[in-house]
Structures are given as structure tokens and as C-alpha cells.
Amino acid sequence: MTSKTLSAFLLNQLNELKDRGLYNTIDPLEGPNGPVIRMKGREFVNLSSNNYLGLATDKRLVDAAVEATIRFGVGSGAVRTINGTLALHVELEEKLAAFKGTEAAVAFQSGFNCNMAAISAVMGEGDAILSDELNHASIIDGCRLTKAKVIRYRHSDMDDLRTKAKEARESGAFGKIMAITDGVFSMDGDVAKLPDIAEIAESYDLITYVDDAHGSGVLGGGAGTVKHFGLSDRIDFQIGTLSKAVGAVGGYVAGTREVVDWLKARSRPFLFSTALPPGTVAACIEAIGILQESKQLQDRLWENAAYLRRGLQALGFSTGHTATPITPCMIGDEEKTQRFSARLYEEGVYAKAIVFPTVPKGTGRVRNMPTAEHTTKMLDRALAAYGKAGWELGLIR
Ligand code: PMP
């Protein structure tokens, strides 16, 4: 293929995406990703970041990052197993394990990378993975990296999981079988039924794996969904991200000493991708300390989420079945959802439309991510825009 034909092919594909409304235009931020953001010279109430606790711009984290950067430089210089492991990485991992209540933890370059790393390091040919149909893309891709058979179960449908676990185990066709789920589902804000999953896992001898990207720092006093349900000793793999509530970037797997040592020995991103930079690691250490010290930021987050949810409901919107700060405003029709989000943008509110294929057809929603940093005034400004735009588009009366 010449570069000209490749360009023509890609242009054609891009146009197809645009026609289907699946092409993301990206407006760069002209300042930090805080509760109010600037884009194209305009200010918006920001209801689209994962910076749940406002730690991305917290001065304590910034100072820790600057100090470590001055001492150690901007890069860690190598992969973890050559000589990219700084004492800071070890300190972070010890703090993460203590925070999660596990024997050990290992840090990766992102939450996405954790799922690439951990699933493929443990599962292989002759194994089976039972995966919730709404699991995050990185879990889906992590499963694809293995030669294990992937069996999807209906979203949070414990009867379906039980039936499929029983069939898989009783077939005798598989060695290891893993049940894998998001802790908090990012599009609806609902929480996985972990006590049932743990019980089913015990009945059918399953490995348990929870990706708690949206639960860490938010649920369980900050320690996450597994702690929330008191299941710390019944879940084998707890995945967390350092890029949402923790405010920086990176990910980690928390579990037993053996799980962590195996990932350090065999997982490919650990072996072949450069370690997290010192500044980031120092900022994460600071963040974990803050999360352990006080629940103040989490309390603010939950208060703001409740305020926004009540406000949207009072206007006549449905917020679906969220049980966490993730607050969808359910619209349904794809085009209406996009138009509504665009109208909110005109009104100075940045809240993303989430439509098919990210969520099932006919369940379009504008997703709101309130944070600990939003003031009541900011949320009121957003609610006023919701009221105005919703009325204009005939979504509420
Ligand atoms: N897992 C889940 C459930 C997520 O929501 C995300 C973030 N979108 C990730 C993993 C990826 O985490 P990161 O952004 O740290 O790569």
C-alpha cells in the first residue's frame, strides 16, 4: 500500500466514524483539569474529569513531585527489572498494600496497563475467564492477550455468572477459571455485587479479579469497593488506578505476596516498559498519605454528588441506578443526547454525551463526574444550564 492509498483509506474510515457520530473532537484545556476549566478562551463548569478528590492540582502533591523531580530527574531511566526501580517505587508499593489491606502491591504505568499485565500473566491456554459484559475496555483487551476462553456474563447478573461458572467448572475443560469485574461501572456508576461474586467463586473454585479504578479513593473509606464489602481476604486481584482519585497517573495491582511477585517476574509491562517517573511516584505517595489521614475530601465528594443528583432529579431528569458519585443524566436517544450535551457546552457546562456503542443502543446519557472541589455555586450553575437546555429540548417540563 502506498502512503497515498493508506491516507485515502484512513480518511474514508475517519469520515465513516464522523458520519456515525463516533469521532471525538478534542479541545485542549488551557489550564488545569479542575472544577472549572478553560477551553477556546471560555470557562466551563467541568463535569467530566476523574479527578474525584481534586488531588491532581493539590499543592502537597505538586510540591512532592517537584522535590522528587529535582532530586531524581524527570525519568526513571529503565524498566523496573533492569535498574528503573527507585526506592520511591518500593515505598509507594508498600503504602499501596497497607492502604488496600493486602500483603503486597505492584505499580504499573497506567490502570490500562495493569489489566494488560495481570490478566495475561496469569491466564493462558486451557483456562477460562468469566467477564461481566460491561467490563472496561482494558479488561477486554487484557483478556484478548490470553489464549483463555472468554465467557461473558450478563451485567451484574449473578444467576448468569453462577450458571456459567458451574458449566465451566463441571465441563472439566478448563484449568484455572477467573471471574473478573469492574468494582464500579464507569458508565452507570453502579457497584459490582462482590459478596455474591466471592461466594460463587468459592463454590466453583474461581480466581477473583476486581478492577477498582472508580472505587479507589471513593468507596470503603477510600480503600475501595473490596474494602467497602469487607472482602479484602476473598479477592485475589485488586486493580487500582493512580490517575483518578489519586490525581496523578499510573496503576497498581494489590494482592498476596505470591500474586505480586509473579507479576514482577512475568508481566510484560513490568519487564518491558519504563518505570513510572519519580515525580509521579512521589505525588502518589503523598496522595495515599492524604487519603489515609482524612476522609474530608471523600465526604465532600459524596455531598457534592448527592447535591447534583438531587438537583437533576428535582428538574425531572433520571439519574439511572448509580450508587456512586458517577451521575448519569439518562436521555435515551443518541442524537438527542449529543444535542443536549452540545447545548450544555454552549451554556458553559462540560459534560460528555455517552452513546452507543460505549453504552447499549437507546441508553444515551450525559455523564456527570462531580468532584470534591466543586462549590455549590458551580453545581447550581450547572443545574441552571441543565434546566434551561432540558426545557428547550423538551426533555423536561
Ligand atoms: N479500568 C477502568 C474500570 C477504568 O475506568 C479505567 C479508566 N478509564 C481504566 C481501567 C484505565 O485506567 P488508566 O486511565 O489509569 O489507564
Instruction: State the DSSP string of 275-321.
Output: PPPHHHHHHHHHHHHHHHH-SHHHHHHHHHHHHHHHHHHHHT-B-TT
The residue among 238, 241, 171 whose CA lies nearest residue 208 is: 238
Residue ranges of the chain with per-residue pLDDT less than 50: none
The Cα–Cα gap between 15 and 144 comes to 28
Per-residue model confidence (pLDDT) at position 357: 85
Cα of 212 to ligand 1 centre, how many Å?
Answer: 9
Which ipTM score applies to this complex?
A: 0.99
Catalytic residue among 49, 120, 156, 186: 186
Structural domains in the chain plus CATH codes: 21-50+295-392 (3.90.1150.10), 57-293 (3.40.640.10)
* Closest ligand 1 atom to Cα of 242: 15
Return the CA Rg of the chain: 22
Per-residue model confidence (pLDDT) at position 397: 87
Question: What residues line ligand 1, using a CB cutoff of 6 Å?
Answer: 110-112, 136, 138, 182, 186, 211, 213-214, 241, 243, 251
pLDDT digits (tens, 9 = 90+) for 319-369: 999 999 999 999 999 999 999 999 999 999 999 999 988 899 999 999 999
**Mean residue pLDDT across the chain:** 97
**Count of beta carbons in the 10 Å neighbourhood of residue 223:** 25
* Closest ligand 1 atom to Cα of 182: 3
**Residue 238 phi, psi dihedral angles, 5° rounding:** -115, 115
Per-residue model confidence (pLDDT) at position 22: 78
Per-residue model confidence (pLDDT) at position 25: 85
The SS3 call for residue 379 is helix
Catalytic residue among 244, 264, 352, 374: 244
Per-residue model confidence (pLDDT) at position 340: 97
Cα of 172 to ligand 1 centre, how many Å?
Answer: 34
Q: Is 186 one of the catalytic residues? A: yes
Amino acid at site 253: V
Cα of 211 to ligand 1 centre, how many Å?
Answer: 8
Mutate to test the pocket of ligand 1, among 55, 110, 133, 136 (most ligand atoms within 8 A of CB): 136
Q: Using CA positions, which residue lies closest to atom 1 of ligand 1? A: 213
- Please report the sign of the dihedral spanned by the C-alpha atoms of residue 76, residue 269, residue 97, residue 249: positive
Cα of 395 to ligand 1 centre, how many Å?
Answer: 31
